[in-house]
Structure 1
């Protein structure tokens, strides 16, 4: 099939049609930026050809060089047959208008916290951006949220921590790309361990939060990502508990903790009935990211 494609496909339109057909036949899972075969194919082809991602129409009838056809057929094959996430094939991922380098050493960037930073949704608890002088991103992965933090709070110095040296190597690429090496410190270690004795105005985290039953049922696409970036114990809250139990010691007065937990709201609220979780609104609902202040944690004895 793929050898015949290399011989007979000649235009971007040809390759697009072939990609959509293969993706539909392969029963792919879309969870890394698109939700259907057509959009996935458009992005993969345009990114691979280094064409503008928002301009498909002018290039549909463009005839491709044999080397370009070979390249497109190969990425289509890898996406369809191996279920490799498109971000790993293109070596890039997007959060809003921000582009990040990504590869198999780190999870593909995706976070409701990014949406909240774009929309200035922390304003009721952080009245002015200039009030944030120190910020911490735990489980930083590719460094994407640390970069968004630095952009959203231009007066802040940002510490970004991850347990994976490989992920931090990817984060270093992104921090350099955004020329933020003087404002973002990448730290290797387990959660708060590398920042012992430090205090912050804002702490964010998009930690692993997939529970054990869900880990067993993950689509093949997610199995290309590092396991340590996904699973977090039987109920998905092992790391979240550590964040909640230790955060107050690292927060300034009126400091804020923001954590993404996926679909674990009910389990979390049952585990901490004494905490007045503030659930932040996102495009997908209000149960995926919580906010707590240092005072809320202290009043609960944490």
Structure 2
């Protein structure tokens, strides 16, 4: 069988000789390369993603040993993988949406197309307990623009004595976040609020506000790979310079932070526009050993000092 283009996508009967897990992982990886899939939702290369899609598509443990790749599949399992691989390669649906599962902070989360696929480098800051900025154990934390709830849940895991609030404008996204909170048995520690940024939150001050808001500018949103078109646009697009929501967060955050509190906010490629807009504001920009960029750190003191700039 020779395939020269996507128009030559094989029929299921063409693949009758593909009987083992290894056959289907190999087929998936090569088809993703031929299809010019984009590896930006938790995977960096095709074999890694193909193995995950095939293994989890069959509801096997994600870390199944390589010795299992020789296992012979049932026909209905092969038919399922054929459909999943087709949807990944031809329709460019990200693996996380096909499986309705994404991993963040070393654990799985339920996701669907109402939420962005978790991938924020903020997870590394959580792992480090936000050192050196956060010097004391926090009591109240906020995950603003929570999406799937993954950052809020990571905060709860890391600071088990703290209370965590999460908030999102999208009711559909918040439903997914609440489902994830329940699956993790964290209802006692995390409260969820639906509303625009801070508007639905209780009257409370936080030791730490963490946010991964929409921040993609108009130029980038039109040039994103096809995989991103399956994500909710309201979770990505943020105006001409990508700062529509970030400006509001910077202006309002001091009202919700303790005097010693900190704001952590991901702005991605819009960091350059932010620095150009507020050259006098001393944002800090952590380096990430696991990849990622464009996450600002700023204290409540500095936000208050420069409050006039954000109005």
- TM-score normalised to the size of structure 2? 0.92
In the alignment, structure 1 residue 272 sits paired with structure 2 residue 281: no
Deviation at 1:5, TM superposition (A): 4.3
Q: Secondary structure at the match of 1:279?
A: coil
Asked if 1:200 is matched to 2:209, the reply is no
Q: Contact 1:42 / 1:56 at 8 angstroms: preserved in 2? A: no
Note the C-alpha offset of 1:96. Answer: 3.4
Identify the range of structure 1 (172-181 vs 12-21) with the bigger mean alpha-carbon deviation.
Answer: 12-21
State the partner residue of 1:79: 88
Q: Which moved more, 1:190-199 or 1:140-149?
A: 190-199
Q: In the alignment, what sits opposite 1:21?
A: 30
Question: 1:261 deviation in Å?
Answer: 0.7
The offset of 1:201, in angstroms, is 0.9
Uncovered stretches (5+) of structure 1, i.e. residues with no partner: none
* Residue of structure 2 aligned with 1:242, choices 227, 244, 248: 248
CA deviations on 1:176-229 (whole Å, 9 max, x unpaired) are 111111111111100011126321111010011110011011111000000000
8 Å Cα contact 1:5/1:73 also seen in 2: no
Give the corresponding residue for 1:141.
Answer: 147
1:129-183 deviations in whole A, cap 9, x for unaligned? 2xx1111111000000000111111221111000101101110111011111111
Q: 2:48 aligns with which of 23, 33, 39?
A: 39
Q: What's the secondary structure of 2:70's corresponding residue? A: coil
Q: SS of the residue aligned with 2:25? A: helix
* Other structure's SS at 1:105 match: coil
Aligned equivalents of 2:133, 2:23: Cα separation in 1: 52
Structure 1 counterpart of 2:4: none
Give SS of 1:195's match: coil
Determine helix, strand or coil for the equivalent of 1:160: strand
Residue-pair matches, total: 299
Q: Where does structure 2 lack aligned partners over 5 or more consecutive residues? A: 1-9
Q: Matches of 2:244 and 2:177 in 1, distance apart?
A: 24
Distance in 1 (alpha carbons) for counterparts of 2:293 and 2:65: 36
Tell me how large the CA RMSD over aligned residues is: 1.5
- Partners of 2:55 and 2:90 in 1: CA distance: 20
User: 153, 162, 165: which one pairs with 2:168?
Assistant: 162
Greater alpha carbon shift after TM alignment, 157-166 vs 281-290: 281-290
Q: CA deviation at 1:286?
A: 8.1
Instruction: Give the 5 Å matches for 1:1-302.
Output: 1-5=10-14, 7-120=16-129, 122-129=130-137, 132-195=138-201, 197-283=203-289, 287-302=293-308
